[in-house]
Every structure is written in structure tokens, then in C-alpha cells.
Amino acid sequence: MIRFTDVYKRYPNRYEALSGLSFHLTDGEMAFLTGHSGAGKSTLLKLIALIERSSHGQVLVNNQNLTRLPKRKIPYYRRQIGIVFQDHNLLHDRTVFDNVALPLIIAGENHREIGRRVRASLDKVGLLGKENNLPIALSGGEQQRVGIARAVVNRPPILLADEPTGNLDPELSRDIMHLFEQFNQVGTTVFIATHDLDLINTLPHRQITLDSGRLAGQTLR
């Protein structure tokens, strides 16, 4: 469960990215976050991932009040969250396997478990045969799939994605969204920030729209 209650995010230059935002997602829901550039979509996802903290209001994730979470507990909290970025954020001097394994290495998993879970994640995204490739040898769609495999290798209950189809053509974008739906079907909460209205209007999931940091509306499909 993700719940925002009267959340504000202000930066030192007095820019207010979020203003009095309240909404919630239920466990196992898949939803889209839409709005113009600068509407606050990326900021909202950063608050859920505890990359940033709110200036006012309450952010609850799985019954944890992120406003009060001590800094020492943030790394453990983040193990609940998988994040997919538009630009993949892959390490280009490491193989596909090594990129996907990174969260497990940080978590201190043993080599056998790392190998098993990395290959399972790559299998889910259709890249099992490319584990020894460098990212530069992959297409843009394949690199995004590596990013998704890395995000889910820890089996997080929540998966966030910030414009995951922004650099992909329509067919690849549909394939990527179908992957997210597959993870959602096994119980993962999926929350995707996107500009791709033509695509998401064909999908049966709630849309939450921001306008200048405020909730502008919600659409159920």
C-alpha cells in the first residue's frame, strides 16, 4: 500500500514540486502517473523510493511512515522497491549478468543464489541467452529489459518506473508494458510515470494525473 496525505515537496530555491498531494495505491495494483513535463511525476517517485523526503505531509509505504524513517534504515527499506529508469542506468563496462546481479551483491547474497536469481530474472524478460553480453551490444529495448530484470531480481513488492518507454518505438513500448503487467499479475504493485497516453489509454489500469504538483484527476479504465 502506498498512501500520500497532504504531501508537499519544496526545494531550497522555493520551487514547490508537489503541493498538498493526497492519493493511495492498494497492494497489488498497477497504475499510471501522468502529467506535463515538470508536473511532479519524478519527484513523487523519488519520495516513494526515499531518494528524497517530503517537506510536509505523510508518505506511507507498506505501513511505514517514510517521514520518520531513520537514515540507517533507508537501505533496508529500499530493498522493497525496484526502480526502472528511462535511460536504463546500466554499467557499460559490466556484462548483462553483472548489471542484474548488482542489487543482490549489495544485499550480500551468496554466489549460488545470485546466479539462480539473475538467470530467472533474465529469463522473465527474454534475455537469458545474452547474460555475457555488454550493454552496448544490445538494442535500446533490450537494454530497458536489462533494467527491468535488475529492478525485479530482489523480488520487491513494489516496482516503480520513470518514463520506461520514453526512448522506444510503439511496438517495443507495448512489449515493455506487457512485461510490467506480467509482474503485476503475480502480485507486484506497479506504478509507472509516463507521457505515452496513446499506449496507456488502451490498458485497463488507473491513471493518476498531476498538474503543477497537484492532483488534477484520476481515471479508472
* Backbone dihedral angles phi then psi of residue 178, each to the nearest 5 degrees: -65, -35
With cut-offs at 50, 70 and 90, classify the pLDDT of residue 48: very high
Burial class (CB in 10 A: 0-12, 13-18, 19+), 13: exposed
Cα separation, 188 vs 30, whole angstroms: 8
Cα separation, 22 vs 208, whole angstroms: 11
* Backbone dihedral angles phi then psi of residue 60, each to the nearest 5 degrees: -110, 130
Confidence (pLDDT) at 174: 93
pLDDT tens digits, residue range 96-125?
A: 999 999 999 988 999 999 999 999 999 999
Confidence (pLDDT) at 221: 63
Going from the N-terminus, what domains does the chain have, and what CATH number goes with each?
Answer: 1-80+158-221 (3.40.50.300), 91-155 (no CATH)
Percent of the chain, pLDDT > 70? 100
Cα separation, 108 vs 93, whole angstroms: 22
Long-range CB pairs of 8-12 (<8 Å, 24+ gap) are 8/54, 8/55, 8/56, 8/57, 9/40, 9/43, 9/47, 9/52, 9/54, 9/55, 9/213, 10/55, 10/56
Instruction: Please tell me which residue, 31 or 220, carries the higher pLDDT value.
Output: 31
Average pLDDT, the chain: 94
Asked whether the predicted pLDDT for residue 16 surpasses 80, the reply is yes
pLDDT tens digits, residue range 50-77?
A: 999 999 999 999 999 999 999 999 999 9
Burial class (CB in 10 A: 0-12, 13-18, 19+), 132: exposed
Rounded to an integer, the average pLDDT of 130-139 is 95
Cα separation, 106 vs 57, whole angstroms: 31
* Backbone dihedral angles phi then psi of residue 9, each to the nearest 5 degrees: -135, 110
Confidence (pLDDT) at 107: 86
The phi-psi region of residue 100 (left if phi > 0; otherwise alpha if psi is between -120 and 50; otherwise beta) is alpha
Confidence (pLDDT) at 86: 79
pLDDT tens digits, residue range 157-207?
A: 999 999 998 888 899 899 999 999 999 999 999 999 999 999 999 999 999
Rounded to 5 degrees, what angle do the CA atoms 161, 62, 152 make? 35
Rounded to an integer, the average pLDDT of 135-142 is 93
Beta bridge partners of 162: 85, 193
